[in-house]
Each structure stands twice: as structure tokens, then as C-alpha cells.
Structure 1
Amino acid sequence: MKVAVIGCTHAGIFSSREILKNNPDAEITVFERNDTVSFLSCGIALWVGNHVSSSEKMFYDSVAAMQADGIQMKMQHDVTAVDLATKTLTAVDLKTNESKTETFDKIVITTGSKPVMPPIPGIDGANVYKCKNWDDAKAIKEAAKSAKSAIVIGAGYIGAELAEQFSVNNIKTTLIDGLDRVLAKNFDKDITDEVEAQYQAHGVTLALGQMVKSFEETETGVKVTTDKGVYEADIAVLGIGFLPRTDLFTGQVDMIKNGAIIVDKYMQTSVKDVYAAGDSATVFYNPTQKDDYIPLATNAIRQGILVGKNINTPQVAYLGTQSTSAVELYGYAMAASGLNQQLAEARGITGIKEITIEQDYRPDFMLTTTPVRATLTWDEKTRQVLGGSFYSKHDISQTANALSLAIQNKMTIDDLAMSDFLFQPNFSQPINFLGAVAMAAAAE
């Protein structure tokens, strides 16, 4: 069996390795336009802020290791044409400019995503940086060494983390976003209000509810003009978001509106023997029970594994995602899973209820403790848990994982309220804050 894997970040690596594990005789060829694999791009802000022990450890696999295991790695090869019906593709060696066309038995599309690049004048300027891959990371890291000021466009996770790290490293920072709150798609206003206060306390200028109109190179850096103001800095970094990198397959396979390839629960596309995974594909979003586009490394890894398990025979179904995630800013941990009110409204979902409580994470007789803010979202009619978030100086990240399981298993607020959570004074109250917020919801 000859298999072509197009793209090799997270989904590509796990697809290739799982295919080989289940099919030791398979001839697997990976086509990757870059010269590295497995870069953990979520660590870019931490690296820029000098919180990474070694940049080499930001890669969990290597070209050499994959080749040694029997996977043919065609690095710096750009796939320029694909006929999915006949499983034929053409790739150009970017080092020699030589082109070669091959035919395979199966094709795996793991082309990932690309940064959103609106048609804004000057967006390709010399002092405007993207934040996606290893080359971008190196460029930002180098620029940050001498930068005294920076503008970050986009206040989602990537932009929020970069702005924080710039500010704590004495780089005067401006954070711009078209929405009126930071992390507006991730957390409710009660949390983002506190986050914004932390930014301001650390000297960050928040330019929210503003749309960028142009970038202009200056003698010392870059000028960013929005519909409400003008901002200048040494560098600007884009953190606007991502779109699936699937232009090559348009018209050949079923996609949703933004270009993400639709896959079934076995990662099969609408074309026989063609699979897709990761940022190039849809995910099944459990809170809505619908296909969605949620580009996360966790989704890419699990989908990649499923490609390998199902490439011969559909046998292991995808369990879906809750889009569980977390971030830490200025010593405060924030974690969420599933829907909040804003996400529900954006998807046209009604009948949603939400409640927030605050309690110390462990008993007050301990020498130290700290409050946790917990929010739970549920369906008013079915009482099914749909989402929630947590905010504290205490590490609450694993609570989002527990909530994720509750959503995945279609638990009600009543089920969650009576679930078994540990009590030990070092770690928890007699009623854990996850149970407590569920009890508050059930009592509504």
C-alpha cells in the first residue's frame, strides 16, 4: 500500500506513525514544504519571553527519526497539483526546482492552516511579522532582542500571550483587536475585564474595537493605522487567526464555507481513500453536535492517530471535541471547555443558561488559599452541560479537562453536581468548585 501524506506538523506526524504501526509494510511518503517537523508553535510566546529551556525541545519528533523508522521524508517539497480521484500528485523539490509526479493508493491531507492575511495595505512590510511556524518564531525572537516597542494585532490566545510576554520584558506594547474585549471568543466578560486590568497594570495600551486599515514602514519601525487611531512601534506581529490551507483541493472534495475539508468519524473525506486531519479538516463539536472548524494541536493529534487506525478499515470512531484550552497571563490561569454565552449566540444557539460562583479552592484554615471563579453553561431544556470556564491564580487547568469529559459524555448539571470529586485540605474544599458550580446550576 502506497500512502502519500501531504504536510507534516502534528496531524501529519501522527498519521504517518500510526499508519506505519498498523501497516508495517506500507510505503509512506511525506511531502513537507518546510525543513522541520513537529514544531510546537504554541510555545512561540514563551520562547520569545525566555521561558523555554531549549528551542530544540520545542520539537518532539525529527526528520531523521521518521526516516530511520521507514517513512520516506520529502522535505522542502511543495505539492503543486493533486488529482484526488486518481490519487496522483505533483511535487516540486524547492532545493533543485525539479518536479515529479507520482500515483498512490491512498492520500492523507494534513496541510494544516495558514495565517489570516487580510488585504490590508502594507501587511507584508519588513517590520510586520506572522506567528505560525519555526521561521516565524525565529524572526520574532530575533526582532524582540532589540525592540523597545511592539504592536500585536489580534487578542486571541496567540496575540494575548505575545502581548503579555513583550510587556513583562520591558517592550512597550499595544494590543489591537476588532472585538471590544481581549480573549472575547474564549471567555466571558467577567474574566476578560480582569485580564484587561492586568494588561493596563503592566503598561499595555489596549486598542479594542478597532479595525486595522494600513501598515506603513517608518524610519524606525512600523506605523499601524486603525479606524480609530494611529500607533507606532519598532515591530508589529499578526495574531489574527488561521484558515485551512486547502486551496489545492477546492472543487475535488466536500468542504465547509471556510475551506476546511469535511471528514466523517473515521477521518474519511467525500473521496474514497482520501483522508484529512488537523487544521485542514473539520471537527465534530460535541456541544453543538455539528461539524465545526477548531484548529488546535490536540484535535490534530487525535485525528492523525485515527487516520492510521482507520486507513484500511473503519474501526475506531472519533469522539469529537469540546475545544478544551487554557492560557496563563500575568500569573492568572484561565481554562475553558465547550460553549459560553457568546459562542452560543455566534452559532445561533438559544435556550442557554449560565451561572458563575467564586470560592477559595481549599479550606480557609490552610495558611494560604486563593479564590477560583467558576462558570458553567447548560441547556435550559435538557439540563445537559455544554461548557464552562475557570479563572484563578491557582492552577485550575485540569478542571477544564474534567468538564470536557462531562460534556463529551452528555452529563446533565444534576449528574455533575453529584459526581465524586476528592476532598483533601491540601487540594480542595469538601465540595470542589466544579461540583459547587454544578450544584448552583442545578438549584436555579
Structure 2
Amino acid sequence: MKISIIGATHAGTFATMQILKDHPDYDVTVFERNDNVSFLSCGIALWVGDHIADPNKMFYSSPKELEKIGAHMKMQHEVLAIDPDAKQLKVKDLNGGKEFVQDYDKLIITTGSLPVVPPIKGIDNPKVYLCKDYGDAQVLREKFAGIEKAVIIGAGYIGAELSEQATIAGKEVTLIDAFPRVLYKNFDKEISDRIEQEYRDHGTKLALGQKVQSFEDAGNQVIVKTDKGEYEADIAVWCAGFKPNTKLAEGKLEMLPNKAIRTNEYMQTSNPDIYAAGDATNVHYNPTGKADYIPLATNAIHQGILIGQNIDKPTVKYMGTQATSAVELFGTCMAASGLTVEGAEARGLTVDAVTTEENYRPEFMLTTTPVVSRLVWNPTTHRILGGAVYSKHDVSQSANVLSLAIQNRMTIEELAGVDMLFQPNFDQPLNWLNKVAMAAVDKANQVK
């Protein structure tokens, strides 16, 4: 079978590896417009902050490694057009400029995402940078070494981490976001308020609930103007969201309103011989049971593997996602899975929630520290729809427990009774997730 893959992203790389693992005789060609594959962009802020031992290890594969298992790697080749009827691609070699046609039996679209860059006045200023790929990472690492002041636009995970690392490095940092809180889409106010205080305590200026209107040149600096103020810095970094990179498929495949390619449970598009995965496509979001757009590396990897398992025939169904994630900011662990209250309301769902706080292990230990736990559930069925944890202790794996609870459609009563270990080094006789579930049950019973 002759297979073409557009994009050596997380999804494209894992699709390639899985196909050749299961079908080593298949003819697999990968087209990638860049000169590298599988860059872990989640490590950009850590690299800028000098926490990466070897930047080469931020790539979990390479063209040579994929060639070793049998892939034909066409690096710095851009696919210009798709003809689904003829099963052909129009391709351009970006080095020599030569164009040619590639036939395929099955096509895989893993073109990833693009930064959302609105037509704001001055956004093309040379002191305004993006934070998406390896090229951006190289530039930012070099620039941050020689600056004193930075403005970061976008308080999602990437902007939040970059702001934290710049602040720790002694830079004067302003973090701007149109939403009223840091990590607005990831955590409810009960948790995000706490991390915002960490930013303020460490000297970061928060400019939240503000929309950037222009970038103006000021000699050696750039002025970022919002609807509520202006901020001068040596550089500005735009980290305000991503969109599917799917122009090639427009008018040829079914899409969500945001242009993400719609796929079924086997990762097939509306054309059964064309598959899609990663940031270019939708996910099945288990908390709502509906298609959604959630660009995360974990989603891309799982979907890429699924394509490999289903490339010959539909075999393994997509289990969906809870959008489970975690971040460490100023020595504090924040982890979440599923819906926040505001995320539920934005999707038209009615939910209830509760927050608890207690030490992660007994007070008779020489040291302990509080854990804030939050749980979101359906008030009618009591099914768990989301949750989050926050602590100076590493509670990140609690998000994985919450993810299992959501995926398995557990109720708050069931999570309250789950058997979890007790050992004074690690936790209390009742784990903090048991406790927050118990608090949820108490609150639900009061409503009756």
C-alpha cells in the first residue's frame, strides 16, 4: 500500500512509526516543510529558562530514525494541493523549487496548527516574536539572554510558563491576556487566583482583561498598547492561541466551524481513504460527548497511533480525551482534567463544583503542605466532568486519576469510595481526591 503523510508533527511521526511497525512492507512517504520533526514545543519556556540539558533531546525522533524503519522522508517539501479524486498530491521541493505529483492509496493529514495572529497594527514589528516551533525557540532563547523587559501576550500554558521563566531570570515581565484570569481555560477562579498571587509576589505585572490594539516602535523598544493601557519593553512575544493548519483540505473534507478536519472514531475523515490527526483535527471530548478542538501533544500522539492501527481497515476505536494537563509555576504544581465550571457553561452545560484544602500528609510528619482540590460534576447524574489540584507538593498524577474517573463515567459517590493507599510519607488516611469527592457528595445531598 502506498501512503503519503503530510506533516511530521507529533501525530505524523507516531502514525509513521505505528504503520511501519504493523506493516513494514507498506510504502510510506512523509512530506515535511521544515528541516526537523517531532519538536516538543512544550519545552520552549524551559529551554529559554536554561532548564534543558540538551536541546537536541527535545526531538523524540529524527528523519534518520524514521528512514531506518522504512519511511521515505521528504524534508523541506511542501504539499501545495490535494486531489482526493485522483488520489494525488502536488508537491514542491523548497530547496530546488522543483514541483512534482505524488500518487497515494491512502493519505494522512497531520499538518498541525498555526499561531492565531490577528491583523493588529504593528504586529509585524521586528521586536514582536512568536512562540510555536523550534525556530521560534532558538530566537527566543537568544533574545531573552540580552533583554531586561518583556511583554508576553497570552496567559495560556505557553505564555504563563514563558512569563514565569523570564521573571525567575530577573527580567521585568508584563503578562497580558484578554481573559480576566491567568490560565482562564484551564482552571477555575478558586485555583487561578492563587497562581496569580504567585506572579505578583515574584514581580510579574499582570494586565488581564485587556485586548492588544497595536504595537508601536520606540527605537530600541516596542510599545504594546491595549484598550486599558500601554507597556514598553525590549521585546513582545505573541502566545495567544492556535488554529488548525488545514487550508489544503478546505472544500474537500468536512470540517468544524473553526476549520478543524472532522474525523470519525477510527480517525477517518469524510473521505474514508484520508485520515487526519493532531492539531489539524477534532477530538472526541468525553466530558461532553461531542467533537471539540483541543490542541495538545497527548491528543496528537494517541490519534497518530490510532491511524497506524486503522490504516488497513477500521479496527481500534478512539477512546476520546479529557484534555488532561499539568504545569509547574514558581514551584507550584497545577494539574487538571476535564471541564472547569466556566468551560461547562460555555458549552451550555449545567454543573456544580466544590473546592477543598488540606495538608497532603499528616501533621505529625516533620513537614507537610496544603493541597487544593476541585471537582466538577453533573448535578443530575452526579457524573464527574472535571477536576483540578494545586499544591507545592507534586500532585500532578492526581490529574490522571481524575482523567480515568471522567473517562469511565464515574460518579462523585464512586470516587469518594475508591480504594487509595495510605502511608504517612505520601498522604492522609483518605486521599485528597477521596476527600473532595466526599465534599461533593455532601453538597449534592444538601441540594435534595
TM superposition score normalised by structure 2: 0.98
1:60-114 alpha-carbon deviations (Å, 9 max, x no partner): 1111111122100000011111112322111111111111111100000000000
1:139-184 deviations in whole A, cap 9, x for unaligned?
1111111011100000011100000011110110010000111111
Residue aligning to 2:96: 96
Residue 406 of structure 2 aligns with which residue? 407
The residue aligned with 2:152 is 152
For 1:384 and 1:325, how far apart are their aligned partners in 2?
20
Matches within 5 A, 1:275-424: 275-350=275-350, 352-424=351-423
Residue 203 of structure 1: how far off its partner (Å):
1.3
What code does the residue aligned with 1:429 have? Answer: Q
**Structure 2: gaps spanning 5 or more residues:** 444-448
Q: CA deviation at 1:198?
A: 1.1
Q: CA deviation at 1:204?
A: 1.1
1:126 and 1:217 in contact (8 A); partners too: no
Give me the whole-angstrom Cα distance separating, in 2, the residues matched to 1:85 and 1:373: 55
- Indicate the SS of the match to 1:164: helix
Q: Is the Cα–Cα contact under 8 Å of residues 110 and 278 in structure 1 kept in the other structure?
A: yes
Cα deviations by residue, 1:272-331 (Å, 9 ceiling, x for unpaired): 210000000100000000000000000000000000000111111110000000011101
User: What is the CA–CA distance in structure 1 between the aligned matches of 2:85 and 2:290, rounded to whole Å?
Assistant: 27
Q: 1-side partners of 2:305 and 2:225: how far apart?
A: 44
Aligned equivalent of 1:141: 141
| Equivalent residue, structure 2, for 1:5 | 5
Q: What is the one-letter code of the residue matched to 2:393?
A: H
User: Hey, what's the Cα distance between the residues in 2 that align with 1:219 and 1:341?
Assistant: 45
Q: Taking structure 1 as the reference length, what is the TM-score of the superposition?
A: 0.99
Deviation at 1:219, TM superposition (A): 1.1
Given that residues 223 and 233 in structure 1 are in contact (C-alpha distance below 8 angstroms), is that contact kept between their aligned partners in structure 2? yes
| Conservation of the 8 A alpha-carbon contact between 2:128 and 2:235 | yes
Once the 2 structures are TM-superposed, how far is the Cα of residue 196 of structure 1 from its aligned partner?
Answer: 1.2
Counterpart CA distance in 2 for 1:121 and 1:19 is: 46
**CA distance in structure 2 between the aligned counterparts of 1:83 and 1:205, rounded to whole angstroms:** 50
Preserved CA contact (<8 Å) 2:284 2:321: yes
Residue of structure 1 equivalent to 2:38: 38
Aligned to 1:229: 229
Per-residue deviation, residues 29-52 of structure 1 (Å, max 9, x unmatched)? 000000001110000000000111
Q: Kindly indicate whether residue 215 of structure 2 is the aligned counterpart of residue 193 of structure 1.
A: no
- Residue 435 of structure 2 aligns to a residue whose secondary structure is helix
**Using the alignment, how far apart are the partners of 1:154 and 1:230 within structure 2?**
16
Shift, 1:218, TM fit: 2.3
Equivalent residues in 2 for 1:123-272 (5 A)? 123-272=123-272
Residues 367-417 of structure 1 show CA distances to partners (whole Å, capped at 9, x for unaligned) of 111000000000000010101010000001000001100100001111111
* 1:90–1:100 Cα contact (<8 Å) kept: yes
Q: What is the root-mean-square deviation of aligned Cα atoms in Å?
A: 0.7
8 Å contact from structure 2 (residues 190, 355) kept in 1: no
| SS, match of residue 315 in structure 2 | coil
In the aligned structure 1, how far is the partner of 2:51 from the partner of 2:86? 48
Q: Following the alignment from structure 2 to structure 1, what is the Cα–Cα distance between the partners of residues 242 and 114? A: 5
Q: Which amino acid aligns with 1:404?
A: S
- What's the % identity of the aligned pairs? 57
Across the two proteins, how many residue pairs are aligned to each other? 443
- Separation in 1, partners of 2:372, 2:291: 30
2:446 alignment counterpart: none
| 1:165 partner letter | Q
Task: Decide which moves more: 392-401 or 210-219.
Answer: 210-219
What is the deviation of 1:217?
2.4
State whether residues 333 and 392 of structure 2, in contact with CA within 8 Å, keep that contact through their aligned partners in structure 1: yes
Which sections of structure 1, spanning at least 5 residues, go unmatched?
Answer: none
